[in-house]
Amino acid sequence: MIDLAYSRPTPARRLVSALSDVRTLAVVAALGMAAPAVGCSDDTGIIIEVTRDADKSPEGIVELVFYVGTPMAGEDDTYLRDPSDADTVLLDAGRDILAEPYRMLLRPSDGFDDEIGAVVLGYTADRDQVVIGALDRPVPFVDDTVAVWPVTLRWSSQIRPTPTGCLSWTSEQDGGGAVVIAPGDLDCDGDGNATDCAPANPTIGHGQPEDCDNGIDDNCNDATDEPNDLDDDGYFDCEDDCDDHVKEIHPGAEEECDGVDTDCDGDCDADLDDDGYTSCTEDTSSTGSCFQPAPGDCDDAAETVHPDQADTCELGANETVDNDCDELCDEDADGDGDTFTPCGAIAGDCGPQLDAKIDCDDDDEHVFPGNPEVCDGVDNDCDGERFQVPDGARCYSDAAGGCHSGDLICVDQTGGPDPGLSCDVNNDVGTVAPAEACDAYEACLDTGAGDPFACANGAIGETASSVACTIAYTVDGDDICSGGAVDLPPPPGDPPLCGWRVLGRPVNDSYEVGVGSSGGGDVSGSVASCDLAAFFVLATVDFPPTSDAVLLWQHSGLSTLALYRVALTPVVVDECPVNPLTCTFE
């Protein structure tokens, strides 16, 4: 066997390409096989080209061991190895067979028949990682042709070499595999033919466990059915020592993360919570193999914590739990997709459970902590209370016939511009308002204004006549000067009905205002007469006062006679005058 990576072609050899050597491809096609790549040389031969899987093998492969044999008649995937020892190749330091594959040339003169099978093992420097690859079928020698057949090395847990040169292997990808039999150990039990008392029986040989009741000398020590303690650990192979060749393996031994059933209980490594997973990177539940890789159990004291477990939340646990060991917590616990869970955490976040994060309705994606409240009969933000209308909230509506102002209420039912919100006007004549107020209010609702009533008043004020007023106050006082009143102008013409009304709130953000008779009497939000009507500023909401504006509407029934935007500006005086309010109405 020759490594072509290190052998220079002799002058007698010629390079052969797939395009020029049509006969090589025809022979392969006639055999019904996939066409191999064509190599170089006039000789008859097979090149085993060894590389590795980039994702399923380590980089530091330093040793290759070739098990090459000829197919055994009547035995699928079973080969009799060539008489020489398995070929071991040490790779040059730094060589990566992914970039620079290793090529082994085999010829019929090496002792092979017409076909060969090959299995290759790859080891890292400390031999703690082993990878394997094989030809997927026997390949033939073709006269005067050297063909290249690839072998790709990958990790596998089902590799069983023996000291006598045998190798058995089961593929974890497709369940296939191969057995390569060494001429010196025909039953591949690790006991050579010369010393094996039953060289054709793989269950009998030196080192095999003695079956205590079969009447056979299983371990070739010239005794039958005797108990043995070959490793002097005090436990017998015929009783309960599952590996009588290793002193550290016996019932009661402490399990380690080594993929071995150290305590002979049938499970590899310790599974303290009996959930089928260990804290090591071994899965003891899927196939029963001691080398079945899987994510480790991140909490081997909790039966409900292991890979593949549904990650739901545990109520009252104080801390979220990573049930499936993927470093995310409660990601399966959010039933409605709003990211909040009933346990008081954000789905996927690991940490403390908090009452402030509890989703009080995990079937409704519109209900979760921090969600804005709306008037729909539901506690949208999970604070224990439903939507509340702000105190003094006002509105305009023409639902009762003609435009009126009213109180904004929530009746906990859907409908209207906002779910459940309604304008309670009571059809009171004292709440009539200009039609443009209702139009402006609807427009403000459509634009999503936070306070549509104030928005509507602002829109009305842009079309109203402007009136500038000042209101006096003293620095050492605690309110505006009292007695502030100014006569309102008479109506144009001689309407049969006339009245004044404060649009908005008689107590707005800055002032308490009203209209009434200048001759005395009640001051309120409206007055039913335009004769001797006056506008009053009664008090300030906060001291010192600030600038603000109010709307005054002069109307005849529902018809607008005049609309004023009265701007109030506070001024400081040393002494309060007789009338602290000065205005100019035109």
Q: What is the DSSP string of 69-134?
A: EEEPTT-TTEEEEPSSPPEEEEPPTT--TTTS-EEEEE-GGGT--SEEEEEEEEEETTS--EEEEE
Average pLDDT, whole number, for the chain? 79
Between residues 216 and 261, the one the model is more confident about = 216
Domain housing 487: 464-583
Between residues 121 and 388, the one the model is more confident about = 121
Q: Is residue 216 part of a domain?
A: no
Between residues 414 and 582, the one the model is more confident about = 582
Q: Is the model's pLDDT at 63 over the cut of 70?
A: yes
Rounded distance, CA 501 to CA 526, Å? Answer: 4
Q: Is the model's pLDDT at 197 over the cut of 60?
A: yes
Q: H helices then E strands: how many in the chain?
A: 3, 27
Res 35: pLDDT: 39
Residues 108 and 175 reside in one and the same domain:
yes
Quickly state the pLDDT bin for 391 (edges 50, 70, 90): confident
Average pLDDT of the segment spanning 354-382: 85
**The token pair that represents 355 in the structure block:** 């009452």
Q: Which of 287-296, 491-500, 515-524 has the lowest mean pLDDT?
A: 287-296
The tally of domains found in the chain comes to 5
Quickly state the pLDDT bin for 123 (edges 50, 70, 90): very high
Quickly state the pLDDT bin for 429 (edges 50, 70, 90): low
Q: Is residue 206 part of a domain?
A: no
Q: Is residue 219 part of a domain?
A: no
Residue 264: helix, strand or coil by DSSP? coil
Res 577: pLDDT: 93
Quickly state the pLDDT bin for 415 (edges 50, 70, 90): very low
> Which tens digit of pLDDT belongs to each residue from 555-573?
887 788 888 989 999 999 9
> What's this model's pTM, rounded to 2 decimal places?
0.42
Q: Is the CB of residue 473 less than 8 Å from the CB of residue 581?
A: no
Quickly state the pLDDT bin for 41 (edges 50, 70, 90): very low
Percent of the chain with pLDDT over 70: 81
Residues 136 and 173 reside in one and the same domain:
yes
Beta bridge partners of residue 536, listed in sequence order: 485, 514
Buried b (16+ CB within 10 A) or exposed e, 319-346: ebbbbbbeebbbbbbbbbebbbbbbbbb
Res 102: pLDDT: 95
> Which tens digit of pLDDT belongs to each residue from 278-301?
666 544 444 344 544 455 667 767
- Comparing CA positions, the residue from 465, 547, 555 lying closest to residue 509 is 547
Of 123, 158, 181, the position where a domain reaches its end is 181
Rounded distance, CA 6 to CA 8, Å? Answer: 7
Q: Is residue 193 part of a domain?
A: no
Residues 58 and 166 reside in one and the same domain:
yes
Question: Around Cβ 462, how many Cβ atoms within 10 Å?
Answer: 9
Rounded distance, CA 329 to CA 348, Å? Answer: 5
Residues 420 and 475 reside in one and the same domain:
no
Residues 243 and 107 reside in one and the same domain:
no
Res 269: pLDDT: 66
Q: Is residue 339 part of a domain?
A: yes
Burial (Cβ within 10 Å: 0-12, 13-18, ≥19) of residue 82? buried
Residues 315 and 305 reside in one and the same domain:
no
Q: Is the model's pLDDT at 364 over the cut of 80?
A: yes
Residues 129 and 47 reside in one and the same domain:
yes
Residues 177 and 33 reside in one and the same domain:
yes
Res 392: pLDDT: 73
Q: Is the model's pLDDT at 146 over the cut of 70?
A: yes
362: CB partners within 8 A, 6+ apart: 334, 335, 336, 340, 341, 342
Residues 253 and 373 reside in one and the same domain:
no
Q: Is the model's pLDDT at 472 over the cut of 90?
A: yes
Q: What is the CATH number of the domain that holds 517?
A: 2.60.40
Q: Is residue 124 part of a domain?
A: yes
Rounded distance, CA 175 to CA 575, Å? Answer: 104
Residues 235 and 358 reside in one and the same domain:
no
Between residues 554 and 301, the one the model is more confident about = 554
Res 51: pLDDT: 95
Q: What are phi and psi of 452, to 5 degrees?
A: -65, -25
Q: Is the model's pLDDT at 185 over the cut of 90?
A: no
Res 290: pLDDT: 55
> Which tens digit of pLDDT belongs to each residue from 26-36?
233 333 333 34
Residues 302 and 364 reside in one and the same domain:
no
Quickly state the pLDDT bin for 413 (edges 50, 70, 90): low
Quickly state the pLDDT bin for 537 (edges 50, 70, 90): very high
Average pLDDT of the segment spanning 37-56: 77
Q: Is residue 483 part of a domain?
A: yes
Average pLDDT of the segment spanning 20-29: 29
Of 360, 385, 410, the position where a domain reaches its end is 385
Res 430: pLDDT: 62
Residues 108 and 236 reside in one and the same domain:
no
Percent of the chain with pLDDT over 90: 16
Kindly give the interhelix angle for 452-463 and 435-446, rounded to the nearest 10 degrees: 130
- Comparing CA positions, the residue from 337, 358, 359, 340 lying closest to residue 349 is 340
Between residues 20 and 183, the one the model is more confident about = 183
**The token pair that represents 205 in the structure block:** 């040989």
Q: Is residue 192 part of a domain?
A: no
Average pLDDT of the segment spanning 436-457: 88
Res 101: pLDDT: 95
Q: Is the model's pLDDT at 3 over the cut of 90?
A: no
Burial (Cβ within 10 Å: 0-12, 13-18, ≥19) of residue 265? middle
Q: What are phi and psi of 489, to 5 degrees?
A: -70, 150
CA distances from 218 to 184, 224, 457 (A): 19, 7, 104
Res 332: pLDDT: 76
Of 385, 415, 445, the position where a domain reaches its end is 385
> Which tens digit of pLDDT belongs to each residue from 98-120?
999 999 988 887 777 688 888 99
DSSP for 369-420, please give it.
TTPPP-SSSS-TTSSS----PPTT-EEEE-TTSS-EEEEEEE-SS--TTTTT
> Which tens digit of pLDDT belongs to each residue from 324-348?
787 788 777 778 888 888 888 887 7
Max mean pLDDT among 69-73, 97-101, 287-291, 503-507 falls in 97-101
